[in-house]
Amino acid sequence: MNEQAAKSGHEVVITVNEKPVTVTGPEVAGLEIKQAAIAQGVQIGLDFQLSEELPNGRTRIVGDADEVTVNKNSRFDAVAGDDNS
């Protein structure tokens, strides 16, 4: 119980580039999302641009230092900085 109290977060499975990635949420920094994705085999780099897919069909850029609240429905895309698509 003390271990859980020391770390107030819990594991959340999010989606990064269509692949499941486990992070400790509910608050996660953009850099932490990319680091977790890379560690779990998603083929991206730390310099990739991360964006969050929002429920209304829009996307929002997530900077490395930006904190986002994640849940099991959270979806992110990471693309190389020079990708103009």
Q: pLDDT tens digits for 60-78?
A: 999 999 999 999 999 999 9
| pTM assigned to the model | 0.85
Q: pLDDT digit string (tens) for 19-33? A: 999 999 999 999 999
Q: If you classify domain 6-79 with CATH, what class do you get?
A: alpha beta
Q: Where in the chain are the domains?
A: 6-79
| Whole-number Cα distances in Å, 1 to 8, 12, 51, 55 | 11, 19, 35, 35
With beta carbons less than 8 A apart as the criterion, state whether 70 and 9 touch.
Answer: no
Residue whose tokens read 């990635």: 21
